[in-house]
C-alpha cells in the first residue's frame, strides 16, 4: 500500500511538474494539436520540427537517466504490447483534438487562462470517458485479438538489442537535422508578446519535465485515466445503479512499486482515492494553475467566451471523441509523445501513425464546419 511519504512525494511531484508545464505551455502557446493540424491547415512544418525536438530531447534524457540507474522501471508501467487499438485510437484522437481546438493538456492550459471553449471541450472529455465504459469489455476483447508481438513493448526489445544503439543513431540523425534548421534560422519566430518563450525552449523544458516525472513518480506525464476517474465519480452519483454494472470502473490496470520508496502503487479509473488519483489529478490541477498564474502575471487572465455557437459545438464533440479515443488507444498524445515515443514503444509508434491521418480528416471537418 501507499505510505504517507510516497503519497506526499508523488502528489507534490505531480503538482509542481504540472504547474511548471502549464506555465511553460501558456508562455509559449505550446499546442501539440496545432503541431499536427498546421501541416494540413496552413501547410506549415515549423511546429512539426518543434515536436521532433521534444521527442528527440526526451529520448536522450530518458536514455541518460536509464544508463545512470535512475529508471529501474523500464519500460514504464501501463505501456504494453502493440495492437490495432493503438492505431484506431490514435486516428480518432487526431480527429477529436483538431475539432476540440487542443489536446487533453492543451485544453487544460487554455482553460486555465480563461477559455470557455476549452472548458466545454474538457466537459466533452469527461463525457467521452464515460461513454467508453459502456463498451469496455467488448473493446478489451478487440485489443486481445489484435495484439501482436505479445510480451514485446519497444523496438529495441523486438530487435533484441540494447536501447543505446537506436538512441545514438537517432541522436546523430536528429542532431544533424537540428543543426541545419539552426543554420537557416528556423528555430526562432518573431514574437511581440511580453515574457513569451520560444517554442523550441518550451520543447526542451517539457522534455525535462517528462523525464523528472519518470524519475520521481515512475511514470511519464499522463492524465487521461484521471478524466475517466472524474467521469466515474459523476456517474456513481447521478446513475448509481447503472454505475455498479460497469466493469471498467472496477478495473485496476496500474500496479507497480515506486522506484524511490518501494511502496506499492495500485489504481484504476474507479472513483477511489488510489494511485491514479494521487499521480494524475495533481498534474491536472497544476497545469490549470500554472497557466492561470502565467496569464495573471501578464495581465491576460480573463474570460474568453465570444465565439460562434458552432465553435462550442465543435469543441464539445471534439472533446467527446478525444475522451473516447484516449481510452481506446489507450492513453493520449502527451503520454505517447512525451513518454512512449522516446523509449520507442511500439504502441506509441502506432498511435502516431494513426493520429496523422486522423488530424488530416479532422482538419477537413474543421474547414467545412467551423472555418468560414
| Residues 278-300: tens digit of each pLDDT | 999 999 999 999 999 999 999 99
Average pLDDT over residues 1-15: 89
DSSP E strands in 181-318: the ranges are 254-257, 264-267
CB 294 within 8 A of CB 23: yes
Q: Is the pTM of this model over 0.85?
A: yes
Q: Which three cell numbers stand for residue 323?
A: 475522451
Give the number of domains in the chain. 1
| pLDDT class of 194 with cuts at 50, 70, 90 | confident
Q: What is the pLDDT of residue 1?
A: 62
User: Coil, strand, or helix at residue 320?
Assistant: helix
The better pLDDT of the pair 75, 371 is held by 75
Q: Is 235 exposed, middle or buried (0-12, 13-18, 19+ CB in 10 A)?
A: buried
Share of the chain above pLDDT 90, in %: 92
| pLDDT class of 207 with cuts at 50, 70, 90 | very high
Q: What is the pLDDT of residue 371?
A: 80
Average pLDDT over residues 340-353: 98
Q: How far apart are CA 277 and CA 148, in angstroms?
A: 31
Structural domain of 199: 4-369
Range with the poorest average pLDDT among 11-15, 38-42, 55-59, 340-344: 38-42
297: left (phi over 0), alpha (psi -120 to 50) or beta: alpha
Q: Which three cell numbers stand for residue 74?
A: 523500464
- The pLDDT of residue 193 is above 80: no
Closest CA to 288 of 30, 93, 114: 114
| pLDDT class of 189 with cuts at 50, 70, 90 | confident
The size of the chain, in residues, is 372
Amino acid at each position: 500500500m501507499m505510505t504517507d511519504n510516497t503519497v506526499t512525494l508523488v502528489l507534490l511531484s505531480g503538482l509542481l511538474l504540472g504547474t511548471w508545464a502549464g506555465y511553460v505551455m501558456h508562455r509559449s502557446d505550446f499546442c501539440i494539436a496545432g503541431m499536427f493540424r498546421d501541416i494540413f491547415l496552413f501547410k506549415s512544418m515549423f511546429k512539426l520540427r518543434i515536436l521532433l525536438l521534444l521527442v528527440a530531447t526526451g529520448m536522450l534524457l530518458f536514455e541518460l537517466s536509464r544508463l545512470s540507474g535512475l529508471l529501474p522501471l523500464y519500460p514504464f508501467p501501463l505501456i504494453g504490447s502493440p495492437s490495432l487499438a493503438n492505431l484506431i485510437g490514435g486516428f480518432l484522437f487526431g480527429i477529436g483534438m483538431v475539432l476540440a481546438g487542443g489536446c487533453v493538456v492543451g485544453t487544460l492550459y487554455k482553460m486555465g487562462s480563461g477559455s470557455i471553449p476549452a472548458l466545454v471541450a474538457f466537459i466533452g472529455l469527461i463525457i467521452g470517458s464515460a461513454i467508453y465504459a459502456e463498451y469496455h469489455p467488448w473493446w478489451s476483447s478487440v485489443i486481445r485479438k489484435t495484439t501482436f508481438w505479445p510480451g514485446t513493448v519497444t523496438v529495441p526489445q523486438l530487435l533484441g538489442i540494447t536501447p543505446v544503439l537506436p538512441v545514438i543513431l537517432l541522436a546523430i540523425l536528429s542532431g544533424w537535422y537540428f543543426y541545419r534548421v539552426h543554420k537557416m534560422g528556423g528555430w526562432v519566430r518573431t514574437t511581440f508578446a511580453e515574457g513569451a518563450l520560444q517554442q523550441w525552449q518550451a520543447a526542451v523544458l517539457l522534455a525535462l519535465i517528462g523525464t523528472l516525472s519518470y524519475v520521481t513518480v515512475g511514470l511519464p506525464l499522463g492524465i487521461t485515466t484521471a478524466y475517466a476517474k472524474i467521469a466515474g465519480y459523476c456517474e456513481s452519483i447521478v446513475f448509481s445503479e447503472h454505475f455498479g454494472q460497469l466493469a471498467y470502473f472496477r478495473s485496476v490496470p496500474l500496479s507497480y512499486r515506486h522506484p524511490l520508496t518501494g511502496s506499492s502503487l495500485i489504481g484504476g479509473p474507479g472513483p477511489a482515492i488510489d494511485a491514479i488519483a494521487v499521480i494524475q489529478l495533481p498534474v491536472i490541477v497544476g497545469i490549470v494553475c500554472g497557466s492561470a498564474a502565467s496569464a495573471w502575471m501578464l495581465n491576460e487572465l480573463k474570460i474568453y467566451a465570444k465565439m460562434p455557437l458552432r465553435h462550442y459545438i465543435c469543441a464539445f464533440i471534439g472533446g467527446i471523441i478525444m475522451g473516447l479515443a484516449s481510452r481506446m488507444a489507450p492513453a493520449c498524445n502527451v503520454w505517447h509523445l512525451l513518454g512512449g515515443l522516446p523509449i520507442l514503444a511500439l504502441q506509441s509508434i502506432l498511435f502516431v501513425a494513426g493520429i496523422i491521418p486522423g488530424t488530416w480528416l479532422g482538419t477537413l471537418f474543421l474547414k467545412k464546419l467551423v472555418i468560414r
